[in-house]
Amino acid sequence: MKNSYKRVDAHLSSLGYCTRSEAKLFLKKNLVRIDGVRVLDPTKKAYHTQITVENEPLDAETITILMNKPSGVICSHDDAGELIYALLPLRYQGRNPKISTVGRLDIDTTGAILLTDDGDLNHRLTSPKSTVSKIYEATLATPLRGDEAEIFASGKLMLNGEKKPLLPAKMEMLLPTKVRLEICEGKYHQVKRMFGAVGNKVIALHRVNFDVYSVEELAFGEFMIIAI
């Protein structure tokens, strides 16, 4: 666990409470303490764990969030349209380094997505070597033909443009046009391309789990802080 020692204005600005130029005014308007003693000097140095704001500890120095992404929201900092980060509190939006999604979900795909400002964690979870489990529920345009589960589990399915076959995936039929699919890699549009390869089309896609983290108890747009 990090416990940085630096100026109060650096703590506050990196965690999105205010900018460094706003820190002096922030200290006047808010009760900021170091070891219980109020501080008004933004250049005062302290450890992260020594500081409170309005009698609450500072937000964690790194943060990881599980969100149930709604449809129509874009996993990007730059694209036009409604961005996923707008669903976070303003303070989280002001953190430096920025909070970023761990991978992406398409604009029309809903469900479990992680967001973090921990660059090492993000890299580890999105690395091609990562085998983190993701569970999806997919609604299909046409009924299953019957051999999809065997093909997906074979470890031999090759997608167009890929140099290696997909790792084995587990598929469970929920309805003739609805399945639950568990994959352990994250290739571009993977689930949609998998069903395209067996002559079907995904018309709705929801990610239920990312690793052990489920969004079944979160409404669309809701999130929770997690430890990972």
The number of CA neighbours under 13 Å toward the Cβ of 135 is 12
Catalytically active residues, by annotation: 106
Q: How far apart are CA 97 and CA 2, in angstroms?
A: 15
Structure tokens at 19: 């900018």
What DSSP element (H or E) covers 13? helix 8-14
Prior bond to 57 cis, omega within 30?
A: no
Tell me the three state secondary structure of residue 103.
coil
- Paired strand residues for 136: 181, 207
- Paired strand residues for 181: 136, 171
Q: How far apart are CA 178 and CA 18, in angstroms?
A: 47
- Taking Cα atoms as reference points, which of 139, 135, 136, 147 lies closest to residue 178? 139
Structure tokens at 89: 């509190």
Report the first-to-last Cα separation within the chain, whole angstroms: 12
